[in-house]
Every structure is written in structure tokens, then in C-alpha cells.
């Protein structure tokens, strides 16, 4: 490709990105060049610049171009061995990792017309059971091609498309409709299809299983690295990646580890976190620090943002900061009292046993999200409580209790979860309504599905093989049409032969047709019966060479004369009377009528002999 062609191709790709939102700059160059060449050849154009002008004048060409560039090759249970391995190794581990009742999220990236997304639905429904599938599973199918997504949302497939689906699964998960079979509507709501550009759009997050089969191979190396990074982010910890047989992750061992390399099953590797801890340093001399420390500690404890209580070794309340005093209605009179006599020891939660555990084990004991509704408060407050043993020179000196108010964070988290739930529910309802409207519209129309059945391309060699397969398929179709035409002609020929045979049998007791050299062309069944010579022996032989009871010495001169002058004697209807002997050697009286065999130009091409027995031989 010349530099000028390269520039024209870049301009064409920029046009597609700016006008239609499809960015093909990350696709493999050879694939784009070959598929664009098909459109140029079909339109009899010679350059990309001409094609760009054609697109601007004929917007409908965009649809045909995208159908050619977006290779929607998919099927149910494609590579059955890989799906079986997924069912045996990955799904049990995935289900075991998820707690009972927790949702399972699956992303089918590059789902095309949806066959693989529905395949995932069937295998998960078999693994979990239909009821659990409805409650726990959510499958997201994404693709660039809106036309393919439209077919996926409809979920209607022909009997041919379901050829690879086992019969028991087909009967369980598909229902017959007018133009094929549709996926069960009660399970269909667990699948959501939408447009997503893997090169630009944000990935779907917290995914437990990501299925991207034979999609990465269409992108160049740089774009593949970016997409794999997005996939790693999208997967939850211990999530699984299921790729096609044409793809590998040779340079991403830091992100994925193989479960079954041959079947292209991988597991996410958790990133190793690095943390650092800053150290505090004291400023000033040791004497200054010692003088300031008691006052500083007192002020720091009193003004701390977290409610804090300190118990001495016998278990009496030694210190309480201002936030703790306000929270638990404590005063100076309570300092020095046994902690177990105070209300805070058992409200909002029983702390005496927790304090004893911290004393015994000399470690911090934490209580998370402890709810407490204080008098006069409309809602519960939520606290994270930490019971910390205070050690001095390795010995227990007291107990510190921290009450961290997390009510606001808990409320924000609940509101966020509720908002996410409502948003997801609204999105699902909107999606379901949209899909139902599209399905209704599809049912009102009569559409014929045309699925492109080209082989995927692993490398440039596979791509050429794909082209050869398509050409062979076209040739096979043409041969099939020729075979059909030949079969029809054979039937017509058989009918003509039967008609000619009936005509020949109707002309007389025996009919013989000769060519211009008196060689037998037609030897009727009556002639076989009369003279005892089979048609296979007679056809092609000269009449005079046949050993039959016909007086050829009398007949042959007349026949040659008829051929010589082209007019010959025309016998009357009773014909030429001859005495002959039949196949049994018995004499027979024959009436032989000789007629000329004429061509379209009225030339004599042979003779027709009609022989009738005039009496019993």
C-alpha cells in the first residue's frame, strides 16, 4: 500500500469515527484493508478517496460497510469441549466462591447476535437451578453492532441456528414461535443487551465471569493490551476470563493465571498492594517535651473527634473525653466509679465481656456497626467500637474504649445501595419494556434472518482460508443449482422417453429406426419379441449383419434406394408384403412400411421400418 493509500485509509477511518461513532483505528490493518477491498470491488471503485465520496452521497452504504467490518460470527456452544470444561471446572468454583444468595454477574463482550450470552444462561441455569438463576444471575451482553444487538434482544433463532444445542436443553429453554424458537421469557429478563465499545467505553464492573470469545484477535497489539487491562479491572477478585481458541494471554501473567490454557480459561490475579507508614517525630528537647506532655495529652483526649473512655486496671472509669461525656451523659461524679455500674457498660452494647476478652488476650477487640437509638433521637445511631488494652512496659495498665460514630457513612452507604438498586431496577424495567416493544414490532413483520457464516480469523492465513471457504460455499451452491436443474431435466427426459416408447409401441408390432448407413438406432420391444435379438445387441449394428429371419436380400436394395434418392417409393398403408421367419423359426407374413427419417432441414437422416404381422406364423 502506497503512502497516499495509507493517508486515504486514515481519512476514511476518521470519517467513520466522526460521523458514526465507530472507531476502527485499533483494528488489525490487514483485516480492514481486505474487507474494504470487497466493498470497493462490489461498487467498482478504485481508491479509498472515491469510496469516501460515495459514502457521503449514499448514506445507506454505511450499513453494508459495517456489516462487512463487524464480523458477527457466533453460535450456540461454539467449541463444545471448551464449554464442557467451563461447566466442570470454572462454574463449580465460581458458585462455591459466592456466598448463598449473593448475585452472580456475567459479561459477554462482543456477544454479536446473542448466542453465547444465551449459552451462558443455559449452563448457569443447569448449574444453579432455574429458581436460583432467576434470583441471583445477571448477564450483560454487549457489542458494537446495533443490528446484531437487535436480534439478540429479540431472542428468536431458527431451527438451523439451534442445531448445536442439545435436545434436552432446547426443549427446556426454548419455546416455538411463528418464525423459529425464542428463549424462555421468564429467564430472558436476566439478560441485558447494550452497546459497548471495548476500546473507549467503561467496562462493566464487579463481574464474576467475563466471556470474550474470538473478539480480541481483530485488534492490534497495542489495543489488545488496553482492553485486557480493562477486563482485569472489570473482574471481581477470583473472577474468571473465558476466551476463544484463537486468542492467548502470553504477556499478561501478572494479571491472569491459566485454569486451562488449551481451552483458554483464565483466573484473575489479585494485585499486590504496597503500603507505607509515616513515622511521627517530636520537635524540641526532651525536657520541653516532658513538661508539655501532660497538658498536651489532656487537651488531646478531651477534644478528640471520637468518644473515648479509659478504664484503670481495677476496672474503674479513669478518663472520659468531652465527646464521650455528651454522648453517654457522664459527669465528673462518674469518674472513679466502677465501669460495670455505668449504663454505658451495657448500652448500646454489652461491653463487660468484650473488656474481659481484651484483658485476657491482650489484643484489640472490635465491634462493627453497633446500632443504638438514644432517647429523643428519631433514628438509630451506628458505632464502630474498639476495646484497646493499654500496655506499659509490657504490662496491662488499663483499657481504652473508642466509639467511632459511623452513622453518616452507614446512611450514605444504604442510600447509595438503594439508589443503585432503584437505578438497576429502573434500567431493567426500561430495558425489558424496550425489548418487549421491539419484540412486538418484530412479530408484526416478516423478517428472514441472514447470518454470516464465515470462519473466524486467527491470523492472516486463517483469514485467507475464510475467503476460500466462502468461495467454495458459493461454488457448492452453484453446483447444487446445476444438480437440481439436471435432476429436473432427467425427469423430463424420462417422461419423453416413456412417451416415445409408447409411440413406438403404438406404430406396429415391431419398429426399427436406421441411420443413413442402415445401422440400427432404435430396436423396439416388439422387434425383440419378433426376431429374438435384444436391443443392446442390435443398436449400433448394421441391419444386414443381424442374424434374423427377415429377407434382407429383398429389403436392403429398397432401403438403399430410398436413402440414395431421398424420395424412394412411398408404400401404401398396407406396406410391402414380405415372407419371413420369426424367432422360433416359424414363417410369418409381414407388412413392412418404410418411411424416411427427416431432419429439420428436410434432409433424410435415416429410415423408419414399421412391421406388422398379417397372420399367425
CA-closest candidate to residue 312, choices 389, 239, 248: 389
Residue by residue, what is the 3-state secondary structure of 5-16?
Answer: HHHHHHHHHHHH
Is the link from the previous residue into 348 a cis peptide, with omega within 30 of 0?
yes
**DSSP string of 240-295?**
EEEE-TT---TT-TTTEEEEETTTTEEEEPPPPP----------S-HHHHHHHHHH
Helix (H) or strand (E) holding 474: helix 460-507
How many residues would you count in the chain? Answer: 617
Identify the residue whose cell numbers are 474468571: 240
Spatial separation of the C-alpha atoms in residues 600 and 587, rounded to whole Å: 39
pLDDT for the residue numbered 124? 93
Strands (E), 35-136: 104-109
For domain 508-613, the CATH architecture is: 2-Layer Sandwich (3.30)
Is there a contact between 562 and 599 (Cβ–Cβ < 8 Å)? no
This prediction's pTM: 0.43
pLDDT for the residue numbered 477? 75
pLDDT for the residue numbered 56? 82
Identify the residue whose cell numbers are 448466542: 115
Coil/strand/helix, residue 168: helix
CATH superfamily of 80-268: Vaccinia Virus protein VP39 (3.40.50.150)
Domain 288-405, CATH class in plain words: alpha beta
For the domain made up of 3-69, give the CATH fold.
Answer: Chemotaxis Receptor Methyltransferase Cher; domain 1 (1.10.155)
Residue 269 CB coordination number (10 Å): 15
Coil/strand/helix, residue 617: coil
* 27 DSSP 8-state letter: B
Spatial separation of the C-alpha atoms in residues 364 and 342, rounded to whole Å: 22
CA-closest candidate to residue 147, choices 413, 372, 450, 418: 450
**Buried-state track 564-588, b at ≥16 Cβ within 10 A, e below 16:** eeeebeeeeeebbebebebeeeeeb
Residue 595 in grid coordinates: 418411411
pLDDT for the residue numbered 276? 38
Domain range annotation of the chain: 3-69, 80-268, 288-405, 508-613
pLDDT for the residue numbered 554? 80
Radius of gyration of the chain (CA): 47
Angle at CA of residue 55, ends 52 and 56, nearest 5°: 90
Spatial separation of the C-alpha atoms in residues 351 and 376, rounded to whole Å: 23
Residue 380 CB coordination number (10 Å): 15
| First-last CA distance in the chain | 91
Per-10-residue mean pLDDT of the chain, 617 residues long, equals 77 75 66 80 82 82 72 80 89 84 88 90 92 91 87 90 90 90 91 87 87 78 82 87 73 78 85 43 47 56 76 87 81 84 84 88 87 72 88 82 85 85 87 84 69 53 66 77 89 84 78 89 88 88 86 84 63 64 86 82 82 72
Amino acid at each position: 500500500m502506497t503512502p497516499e493509500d495509507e493517508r486515504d485509509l486514515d481519512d476514511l477511518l476518521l470519517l467513520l469515527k466522526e460521523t458514526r461513532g465507530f472507531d476502527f483505528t485499533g483494528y488489525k490493518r490487514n483485516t480492514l484493508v481486505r474487507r474494504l477491498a470487497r466493498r470497493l470491488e462490489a461498487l467498482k471503485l478504485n481508491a479509498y478517496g472515491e469510496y469516501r465520496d460515495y459514502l457521503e452521497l449514499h448514506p445507506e452504504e454505511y450499513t453494508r460497510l459495517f456489516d462487512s467490518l463487524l464480523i458477527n460470527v457466533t453460535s450456540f456452544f461454539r467449541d463444545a469441549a471448551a464449554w464442557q470444561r467451563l461447566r466442570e471446572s470454572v462454574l463449580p468454583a465460581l458458585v462455591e466462591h459466592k456466598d448463598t444468595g449473593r448475585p452472580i454477574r456475567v459479561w459477554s463482550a462482543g456477544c454479536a447476535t446473542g448466542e453465547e450470552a444465551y449459552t451462558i444462561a443455559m449452563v448457569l441455569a443447569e448449574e444453579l437451578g432455574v429458581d436460583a438463576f432467576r434470583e441471583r444471575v445477571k448477564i450483560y451482553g454487549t457489542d458494537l453492532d446495533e443490528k446484531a444487538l437487535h436480534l439478540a434482544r429479540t431472542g428468536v433463532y431458527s431451527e438451523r441456528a439451534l442445531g448445536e444445542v442439545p435436545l434436552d436443553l432446547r426443549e427446556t429453554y426454548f419455546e416455538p414461535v411463528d418464525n423459529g424458537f425464542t428463549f424462555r421469557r421468564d429467564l430472558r429478563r436476566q439478560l441485558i443487551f447494550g452497546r459497548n465499545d471495548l476500546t473507549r467505553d467503561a467496562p462493566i464492573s464487579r463481574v464474576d465471569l467475563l466471556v470474550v470469545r474470538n473478539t480480541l484477535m481483530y485488534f492490534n497489539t497495542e489495543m489488545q493490551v488496553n482492553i485486557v487491562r480493562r477486563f482485569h479491572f472489570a473482574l471481581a477478585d477470583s473472577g474468571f476470563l473465558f476466551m476463544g481458541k484463537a486468542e492467548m494471554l502470553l504477556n499478561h501473567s501478572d494479571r491472569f493465571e491459566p485454569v486451562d490454557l488449551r481451552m483458554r480459561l483464565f483466573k484473575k490475579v489479585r494485585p499486590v498492594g504496597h503500603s507505607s507508614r509515616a513515622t511521627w517525630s517530636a520537635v524540641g528537647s526532651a525536657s520541653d517535651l516532658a513538661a508539655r506532655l501532660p497538658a498536651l495529652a489532656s487537651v488531646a483526649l478531651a477534644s478528640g473527634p471520637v468518644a473515648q473512655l479509659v478504664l484503670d486496671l481495677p476496672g474503674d472509669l479513669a478518663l472520659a473525653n468531652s465527646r464521650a461525656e455528651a454522648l453517654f451523659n457522664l459527669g465528673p461524679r462518674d469518674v472513679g466509679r466502677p465501669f460495670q455500674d455505668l449504663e454505658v457498660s451495657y448500652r448500646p452494647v454489652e461491653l463487660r465481656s468484650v473488656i474481659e476478652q481484651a484483658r485476657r488476650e491482650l489484643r484489640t477487640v472490635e465491634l462493627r456497626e453497633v446500632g443504638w437509638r438514644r432517647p429523643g433521637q428519631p433514628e438509630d445511631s451506628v458505632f464502630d467500637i474498639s476495646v484497646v488494652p493499654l500496655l506499659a512496659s509490657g504490662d496491662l495498665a488499663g483499657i481504652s474504649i473508642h466509639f467511632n460514630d459511623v452513622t453518616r457513612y452507614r446512611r450514605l452507604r444504604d442510600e447509595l445501595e438503594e439508589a443503585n438498586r432503584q437505578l438497576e431496577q429502573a434500567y431493567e424495567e426500561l430495558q425489558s419494556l424496550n425489548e418487549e416493544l421491539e419484540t412486538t414490532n418484530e412479530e408484526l413483520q416478516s423478517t428472514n434472518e441472514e447470518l454470516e457464516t464465515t470462519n473466524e480469523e486467527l491470523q492472516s492465513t486463517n483469514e485467507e482460508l475464510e475467503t476460500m471457504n466462502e468461495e467454495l460455499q458459493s461454488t457448492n451452491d452453484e453446483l447444487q443449482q446445476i444438480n437440481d436443474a439436471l435432476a429436473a431435466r432427467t425427469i423430463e427426459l424420462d417422461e419423453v422417453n416413456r412417451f416415445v416408447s409408447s409411440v413406438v409401441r403404438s406404430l406396429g408390432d415391431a419398429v426399427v429406426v436406421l441411420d443413413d448407413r442402415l445401422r440400427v438406432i432404435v430396436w423396439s420391444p416388439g422387434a425383440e419379441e419378433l426376431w429374438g435379438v435384444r436391443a443392446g445387441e442390435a443398436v449400433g449394428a448394421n441391419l444386414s449383419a443381424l442374424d434374423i429371419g427377415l429377407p434382407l436380400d429383398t429389403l436392403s436394395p429398397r432401403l438403399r434406394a430410398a436413402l440414395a434418392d431421398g424420395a424412394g417409393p412411398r408404400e401404401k398403408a398396407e406396406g410391402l408384403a414380405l415372407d419371413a421367419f420369426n424367432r422360433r423359426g416359424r414363417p410369418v407374413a409381414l407388412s413392412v412400411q418404410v418411411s424416411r427419417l427427416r431432419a429439420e432441414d428436410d434432409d433424410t437422416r435415416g429410415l423408419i421400418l414399421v412391421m406388422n404381422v398379417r397372420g399367425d406364423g
